[in-house]
Amino acid sequence: MLDRTGALLALAGAALVVVLATTHRDVPRCPAGLIPLGARCCGDGQRLEQGLCVGAPTRCGEGLELRSDGCVARPARVTIGAGESSWKPPDTTVAPAGETAKTPAFAIDVYEVTRAAWSTCATCALLPPGDPGQAAHSMTRDEARAYCRSVGGRLPTDAEWLRAAIGEAEKRYPWGDPDALCLRAAFALDGRCARGALGPDTVGARPWGKSTAGLHDLAGNVAEWVDDGAPPGSAAVRGGSFREPDATSLRPRWRRVLPDGSRHDWVGVRCAYDR
């Protein structure tokens, strides 16, 4: 009798896990003030149309500005002091020597550049349609450079991006060592974490995944252009994106090299500033 009861409980637990996994996969986890719509976190009171959050929200998440056209991350910067970050490669038997990123002090945006922010640059390239709070995307590296210059900044160097993501001591992810759960990063939005993503999510919609320095979306949502770290004729991005099927690309060490001049809906920008 006890064996039968135990087996029934195990089956019930397994069924619950399946239900929870399916629910967790089909919709994103959104903070208070934002609601899950399709693969997006939109403002409370908005609706989803062709992958975009539209309509006037009645509430927004913490750190997001409540506007008549959406929930938009407020521009903010943090300063990263001069210093050095080091880490070991994942397989020390293949490459036993660690790597190091050393920089002078610099400032960097707390949030990825939003569509609303990009639209204020009259001389910047036109981007595909999007909603104001969504991460700007599909610009080339040169177009990203031009935007950052328009706001008094520049693209971060590869070492600066790494220092912002890693801090002084190596962590598995920008937020620390806990697993890359769907609530911490906008990734696998057409697979493990959600379904039907047509573009990146609202910037700042994963506050549980901010770095120890307070930077949002360093892992997932859109990968970000950096200003070096690639051979001539190529350009590098860091940070993974909403299209990644697994958490491997969410590690700060992850870097993808692309043809210079290319544009992708999963690549955006975050600006850095001299100090």
Checking if the pLDDT of 106 tops 80, the result is: yes
Checking if the pLDDT of 4 tops 60, the result is: no
Checking if the pLDDT of 7 tops 50, the result is: no
Q: State what percent of residues in the chain have pLDDT above 70.
A: 87
* CB proximity list for 141: less than 8 A, separation 6 or greater: 155, 225, 227, 235, 260, 261
How many residues does the structure list for the chain?
275
What are the tens digits of pLDDT across the range 107-151? Answer: 999 999 999 999 999 999 999 999 999 999 999 999 999 999 999
Predicted pLDDT of residue 28: 87
Checking if the pLDDT of 56 tops 80, the result is: yes
Cα distance between residue 270 and residue 75, in whole Å: 11
What are the tens digits of pLDDT across the range 61-103? Answer: 999 999 999 999 999 999 999 998 887 655 444 444 567 889 9
Nearest to 53 by CA among 110, 129, 165: 129
Checking if the pLDDT of 9 tops 80, the result is: no
Domains of the chain: residue spans and CATH: 75-274 (3.90.1580.10)
Confidence of residue 16 (pLDDT cuts 50, 70, 90): very low
Checking if the pLDDT of 224 tops 90, the result is: yes
- 218, 252 in Cβ contact below 8 A? yes
Predicted pLDDT of residue 96: 44
Checking if the pLDDT of 15 tops 60, the result is: no
Checking if the pLDDT of 17 tops 50, the result is: no
Checking if the pLDDT of 13 tops 50, the result is: no
The mean pLDDT of 146-166, rounded to a whole number, is 96
What are the tens digits of pLDDT across the range 235-262? Answer: 999 999 999 999 988 998 889 999 999 9
Predicted pLDDT of residue 98: 64
pTM: 0.87
The mean pLDDT of 144-172, rounded to a whole number, is 92
| Distances from the Cα of 160 to the Cα of 44, 51, 74, 79, 102, angstroms | 35, 33, 22, 11, 8
Predicted pLDDT of residue 89: 57
Cα distance between residue 108 and residue 193, in whole Å: 28
- 134, 202 in Cβ contact below 8 A? yes
The SS3 assignment for 79 reads strand
Predicted pLDDT of residue 36: 96
- 125, 139 in Cβ contact below 8 A? yes
Checking if the pLDDT of 8 tops 50, the result is: no
